[in-house]
């Protein structure tokens, strides 16, 4: 008896619920079908549509007509969290969650036009990764930018919000490519990538081993990604070898993390720490490395892969010898007054975090004061040193030598030559 009553009540309730949902969705869809049919179609093929998660579940119901569209909620990650707690929590513990904050911690960001940051193209197009604080959202709004409130749609693009799409390494390509982090180019041309594509084309059997970005960086669908070295390729503790330790200190000075005169940490170190831009103790570095070794060992012998990753570490030390030599050459020009310290620089020393804005100014100021030799130094660090070691980790022979080591050597030659000319012209 109770059971039937409950059943009837539940039936009525879900009927009411369904008709409510259908009604709200109809209104939105009716109008938007005419306005933006592709978008509506995309939603219709999604799991959300199949599960009656309508437009208003994410955008609210306040906006009802063509005039009041600014009342529509542009949903942030917390809206997704309300139904996908697990992925949200994982994401918030991973490195992707720092994309926006680390972008804003870099002086170069504040020297570029706003379109390239808040506008969501350039730096901001890739760094729209990470849950924004209320303060960060206010800043966006105050500059007149309304979108870019969600990072879940960076891999599960709207409005299909598909899992299958995100499992495809193409989902990573837009951001992990190009100048300073060509993981896409390196992976896709490596044997790992070659196999993945061959398998996709049906030229290798279904069971063939072919690791994608996700195999190594999102094992078991875990949204909390992180690596041992990370992007900057520096860490603590310093290496045991004296020269290698001195070289890393030189690089840390050029990153503005250590004061070039006192050798003491600067406030920039706190920013680096806050977003885990570098590992500052052996333990946190080793934890990520051990996880990766375990992943490689699914398909290779443990000894084999340890040797492969150790080589990535040792090439970094050799690359740092070239890098430190170049930094010291440019630093000597500052010391001897051949390059004048830009007002915004933390010290009378080269500063890599302005990127190519080597006058230390916003993009529209003092353009005749850009220091060219400093630009070559930034390129050596950002483009060629990155490639040298990232290529070892992504098994790319060509990037390791020709686009990496070879180009670093060339940059060093150019820096020495420029320094010589600057001194002789003085
Ligand atoms: C009578 C037509 C109409 C109805 C009904 C309607 N919309 Fe819209 N909506 C618009 C127009 C017009 C715009 C502005 C589009 C443009 O500029 O191209 C808009 C914009 C939006 C935007 C983007 C807001 C922005 O800031 O860019 C969202 C999100 C949206 N609608 C969702 C909904 C949802 C959800 C519903 C149902 C609750 C709905 N709309 C109902 C006409 C409508
Ligand atoms: C699962 C959540 C979700 C659902 C369901 C959803 N949207 Fe969206 N929508 C988003 C997100 C996330 C954004 C991006 C917000 C931002 O950029 O800040 C967005 C952006 C938009 C925009 C503005 C950007 C653009 O590309 O035009 C419109 C318009 C829009 N949605 C309409 C709709 C309509 C119409 C429906 C129903 C057919 C719908 N949305 C269903 C999450 C959703
Ligand atoms: C009101 C609840 C609700 C909200 C809000 C919501 N989802 Fe979903 N989502 C679901 C349901 C239900 C499914 C289908 C069952 C499942 O896979 O859990 C789903 C499925 C998915 C899937 C898997 C699709 C597939 O191909 O298997 C993804 C990815 C996803 N949602 C992402 C998002 C994102 C991103 C947001 C925020 C912009 C969001 N969802 C907001 C309820 C929601
Ligand atoms: C094509 C996409 C893209 C563009 C454009 C881009 N970045 Fe990045 N950025 C990334 C990716 C991807 C990473 C992570 C790379 C890695 O770890 O190898 C990253 C890493 C970083 C990091 C290091 C974060 C950390 O915690 O290690 C900083 C800082 C940074 N970018 C700043 C910038 C600035 C400033 C700009 C513009 C002047 C910019 N990026 C432009 C994609 C981009
Ligand atoms: C076979 C496993 C594997 C695959 C496949 C793979 N990576 Fe990596 N990735 C690594 C290893 C190993 C490291 C370095 C880990 C460390 O620091 O110990 C790394 C590091 C990274 C880093 C940090 C910076 C760097 O390059 O050292 C990013 C970002 C990254 N990978 C993204 C990607 C993307 C995007 C793809 C796909 C295009 C990809 N990876 C494919 C194993 C892999
Ligand atoms: C870096 C890319 C990336 C981002 C960003 C991302 N996801 Fe995913 N997501 C994936 C991948 C890859 C999978 C498939 C995992 C697997 O192997 O099962 C996935 C799976 C999912 C699923 C389906 C889970 C299942 O097994 O049915 C949901 C739901 C989901 N993500 C929600 C989210 C939400 C919410 C966010 C934002 C907090 C988000 N994702 C951000 C890559 C991403
Ligand atoms: C919208 C751009 C974007 C997409 C798409 C994207 N990433 Fe990233 N990724 C970034 C940025 C930006 C960072 C640096 C975050 C930070 O500041 O710490 C990053 C960092 C990483 C890191 C951590 C490197 C470290 O510092 O340890 C890994 C690993 C990574 N991404 C893998 C992936 C994989 C795998 C995919 C695809 C499933 C993917 N990413 C998709 C932008 C993106
Ligand atoms: C899902 C299985 C799988 C995973 C995980 C995997 N690999 Fe591979 N790897 C392969 C296959 C298959 C090949 C191509 C066949 C071969 O050369 O052995 C390959 C090739 C290689 C090669 C080139 C070998 C040569 O002789 O040219 C290196 C180096 C390598 N992998 C290192 C690694 C490292 C390091 C990791 C972890 C970061 C890793 N692999 C993770 C399957 C995998």
pLDDT tens string 19-39 = 444 445 589 999 999 999 999
Residue boundaries of the structural domains of the chain: 75-132, 226-425
Q: What is the pLDDT of residue 25?
A: 52
Question: Which residues partner with 258 through β-bridges?
Answer: 265
pLDDT of 15 higher than 80: no
Which residue puts its alpha carbon closest to atom 32 of ligand 8?
305
CA distance 194 to 189: 6
| CB of 297 closer than 6 angstroms to any ligand 8 atom | no
Q: What is the pLDDT of residue 413?
A: 98
- Listed range (44-48, 139-143, 309-313, 330-334) with the worst mean pLDDT: 139-143
| CB of 100 closer than 6 angstroms to any ligand 5 atom | no
The preferred substitution site among 46, 86, 163 for testing ligand 6, maximizing ligand atoms within 8 Å of CB, is: 163
Which residue puts its alpha carbon closest to atom 18 of ligand 6?
221
pLDDT of 302 higher than 70: yes
Short-list 402, 392, 416, 399, CA closest to 326 = 416
**How many other C-beta atoms lie within 10 A of the C-beta of residue 155?**
23
Task: Give the pLDDT band of residue 1 (cuts 50, 70, 90).
Answer: very low
pLDDT tens string 61-113 = 999 999 999 999 999 999 999 999 999 999 999 999 999 999 999 999 999 99
Q: Closest ligand to 88 CA? A: 6
The single-letter DSSP state of residue 155 is T
- Chain centre distance of CA 277: 11
pLDDT of 133 higher than 70: yes
**How many other C-beta atoms lie within 10 A of the C-beta of residue 419?**
18
Q: Do 250 and 326 contact (CB within 8 A), yes or no?
A: no
Ligand 5 centroid–CA 1 distance in Å is 60
| CB of 112 closer than 6 angstroms to any ligand 4 atom | yes
CA triple 339-345-349, angle to 5 deg: 50
pLDDT tens string 393-417 = 999 999 999 999 999 999 999 999 9
Please tell me whether the overall predicted TM-score, pTM, comes out greater than 0.85 for this model: yes
Q: Count each helix (H run) and each strand (E run) in the chain, helices first.
A: 22, 0
Q: Closest ligand to 228 CA? A: 5
Backbone phi, psi, residue 278, to 5°: -145, 150
pLDDT of 267 higher than 80: yes
| CB of 214 closer than 6 angstroms to any ligand 6 atom | yes
Q: What is the pLDDT of residue 426?
A: 84
Short-list 401, 364, 380, CA closest to 326 = 380
Show the ligand 1 pocket: residues with CB < 6 angstroms. Answer: 24, 27-28, 31-32, 35, 55-56, 59, 61, 63-66, 69-70, 72, 146
pLDDT tens string 138-192 = 999 999 999 999 999 999 999 999 999 999 999 999 999 999 999 999 999 999 9
The single-letter DSSP state of residue 160 is T
Percent of the chain with pLDDT over 70: 94
Q: What DSSP string runs through 337-406?
A: TSSPPPTT-SSSS--GGGTT-TTSS-TTS-GGG--HHHHHHHHIIIIIIHHHHHHHHTT-HHHHIIIIIH
Show the ligand 3 pocket: residues with CB < 6 angstroms. Answer: 47-48, 51, 53, 57-58, 75, 79-80, 82-84, 150, 152-153, 156, 161-164
* Helical residues (DSSP H) of 68-111, grouped into ranges: 77-81, 85-93, 99-104
Which residue puts its alpha carbon closest to atom 43 of ligand 4?
126
CA distance 278 to 212: 25
Q: What is the pLDDT of residue 20?
A: 40
Architecture of domain 226-425: Up-down Bundle (1.20)
Which residue puts its alpha carbon closest to atom 21 of ligand 2?
74
CA distance 103 to 118: 11
Residues 6+ apart with CB under 8 A from 3: none
């Amino acid at each position: 008896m109770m059971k039937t009553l409950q059943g009837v009540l539940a039936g009525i309730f879900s009927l009411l619920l369904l008709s409510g949902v259908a009604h709200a969705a109809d209104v939105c869809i009716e109008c938007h079908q005419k306005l933006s049919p592709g978008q509506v179609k995309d939603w219709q093929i999604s799991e959300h549509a199949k599960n009656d998660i309508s437009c208003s579940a994410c955008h609210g119901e306040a906006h009802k007509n063509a005039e009041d569209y600014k009342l529509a909620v542009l949903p942030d990650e917390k809206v997704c969290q309300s139904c996908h707690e697990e992925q949200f929590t994982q994401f918030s513990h991973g490195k992707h969650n720092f994309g926006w904050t680390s972008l804003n911690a870099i002086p170069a960001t504040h020297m570029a036009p706003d379109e390239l940051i808040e506008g969501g193209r350039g730096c901001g197009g890739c760094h729209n990764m990470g849950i924004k604080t209320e303060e960060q959202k206010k800043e966006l709004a105050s500059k007149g930018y309304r979108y870019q409130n969600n990072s879940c749609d960076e891999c599960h693009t709207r409005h299909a919000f598909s899992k299958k799409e995100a499992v495809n390494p193409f989902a990573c390509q837009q951001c992990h490519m190009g100048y300073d982090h060509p993981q896409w180019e390196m992976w896709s041309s490596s044997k790992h990538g070659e196999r993945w594509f061959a398998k996709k084309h049906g030229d290798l059997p279904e069971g063939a081993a072919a690791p994608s970005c996700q195999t190594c960086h999102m094992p078991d669908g875990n949204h909390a990604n992180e690596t041992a070295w990370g992007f900057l390729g520096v860490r603590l503790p310093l290496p045991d070898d004296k020269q290698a330790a001195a070289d890393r200190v030189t690089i840390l000075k050029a990153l503005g993390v250590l004061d070039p005169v006192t050798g003491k940490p600067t406030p920039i170190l706190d920013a680096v720490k806050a977003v885990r831009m570098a590992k500052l103790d052996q333990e946190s570095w080793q934890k990520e490395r051990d996880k990766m070794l375990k992943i490689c060992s699914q398909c290779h012998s443990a000894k084999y892969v340890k040797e492969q990753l150790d080589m990535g570490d040792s090439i970094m030390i050799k690359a740092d010898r070239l890098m430190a030599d170049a930094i010291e050459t440019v630093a000597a020009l500052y010391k001897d007054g051949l390059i004048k310290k830009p007002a915004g620089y933390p010290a009378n020393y080269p500063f890599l975090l302005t990127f190519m804005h080597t006058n230390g100014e916003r993009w529209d100021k003092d353009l005749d004061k850009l220091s060219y030799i400093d630009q070559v130094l930034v390129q050596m660090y950002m483009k060629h040193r990155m490639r040298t070691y990232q290529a070892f980790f992504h098994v790319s022979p060509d990037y390791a030598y020709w686009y990496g080591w070879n180009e670093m050597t060339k940059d060093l030659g150019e820096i020495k030559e420029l320094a010589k000319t600057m001194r002789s012209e003085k």
